[in-house]
Amino acid sequence: MLFHTLKFFCFFLIVYHIYIRFNHRWQNRLLLFSSYYFYGSWDWRFLSLIVISTLVDYFCGLRIYNTDKKAEKRKYLFLSLVTNFGLLGYFKYFNFFAANFYQLFSSFGVAVNPLYLKIILPVGISFYTFQTLSYTIDIYNGKIKPEKNVFDFALFVAFFPQLVAGPIERAKSLIPQVKAVRKIDFTMIKEGLWLFCYGFFLKVFIADSMVRIVDQVFNASAPVSSGIVSLMGIYAFAFQIFGDFAGYSSMAIGISKLLGFDLMTNFLYPYLVTNPSDFWKNWHISLSTWLKDYLYVPLGGNRLGKWLTYRNLMITMLLGGLWHGAAWTFVLWGFYQGIILVVHRFVKQEISFPKVPMKFERVWFAVKVVVMFHVTCLGWLIFRAQSLGQIGYMLGNIFNRFSVDMSLGITFGLQILQYTWLFWIIHLIQYKNDNNFAILNLSQRFKYPICIGMLCSVMFIIVTTVLSHGKFGDQPFIYFQF
């Protein structure tokens, strides 16, 4: 059930109509039932996985907290880790590792029968696995107390707005909101509607429009042999993945606000930063902070000296890349992210540059933003490519065959501008005010044209999609596959 479909609108209106009439206890029960229905609409069989994770972590959390023996605490933490990572590993990585072991043995002349299973990846398993794991780890570390009400804990795990693609919430933030009586005021409704509409705009008008360019470049039956076309395809994917994932997060946070919940901000301004460290403070914030708190810091963070800090960064980003998918392109993407973080840290600490004169500060800032955007786009090429060979081929196009088929490249470039200019206006206003609700605070002569522009843009896409395909809303979110 996709957020931008009529089916979801009907589902949410029915749930919301009942929700606002219930008391707190029955609101929670309704949300839990609705969350299971929402997830079951993808494939009801996978509801068992959420129930298993919920019951195991609920039980382990209580046992970890109620025993004073360190060995007992470790035993139940280990049970939680094995259960959650076991399910994630089986459904997401079994065939990947089986194929690579087969290739490894074959390279040494050892005959083995390849073992491949017909496994369907459950939607959102990477997200809710990390969310529920943080619960038992935080109890083990003494940061929170366990939740005694199993139904409230189940709602924390399965809360439908952020169940399948985040934000990855922490128990210390979300469970208190589940437990407390929620008051929905006009401000929350206004902000919730804005976030949902803005996310809808990002998904439908920007992300889904970029798909046409991205698929022509990356999924073409014959390899694209033009540098400018390859570059425009990478640019298009940069906007597709932002519009798609930031759009989903914005809609999820907006829906939650309408229900009286405050979820963490998951995206800020990742394409207006000047270095890779700031990129990860603005991109998929719930994942980057999870990796920092539960992987980077336990490894030693930056407390063990320069070289071990570099090691910790590389391990964290390699595993972060593998989290995204079972393919060597994702591993390479994680390696690339680790490298640029290490290089940035080294340059920042070891090399001193002369201060830029004040009159050139804005120009220098703009140059750094453009450079960092292209550093990010190189990462998106690695992320989106269907094979390692495609990465090398497209880079070869850019550096050796750039001027081939200029007309198609220019056409793609103009289409990217056509679909992103309004986004940049909104984005720059938000960035300048450091506020995702900055548009709501503008005067009417600026606010209304922007909102009308968003509405017309979305309606244009809906009408043209229905006329050409006969239906609308069948383009899934990219991160559902992760």
Catalytic residues: 324
Residue type at 470? Answer: G
Kindly give the interhelix angle for 47-66 and 70-107, rounded to the nearest 10 degrees: 140
Note whether 210 and 237 are within 8 A (CB): yes
> What is the torsional sign of CA 10, 12, 13, 19?
positive
Please choose, from the candidates 288, 368, 363, the residue with its C-alpha nearest in 3D space to the C-alpha of residue 324. Answer: 288
What whole-number distance in Å separates Cα of residue 287 and Cα of residue 325? 14
Q: How far apart are CA 436 and CA 264, in angstroms?
A: 12
DSSP 82: H
CA 204 to chain centre: 17
End-to-end C-alpha distance for the chain, whole angstroms: 16
Q: Which tokens belong to 185?
A: 């005021």
DSSP letter for each residue of 264-321: PP--S-GGG-SSHHHHHTTSSHHHHHHHIIIIIHHHTTTSS-HHHHHHHHHHHHHHHH
Tokens 């033009």, residue located: 226
φ/ψ bin of 301: left (φ > 0), alpha (ψ from -120 to 50), beta (otherwise) = left
Tell me the C-alpha distance between 178 and 9, whole Å.
Answer: 23
At residue 126, φ and ψ (nearest 5 deg) are -65, -35
Closest to 240 measured CA to CA, from 475, 482, 8? 475
Question: Which amino acid does the sequence have at 112?
Answer: V
Is the four-CA dihedral 254, 255, 261, 263 of positive or negative sign? negative
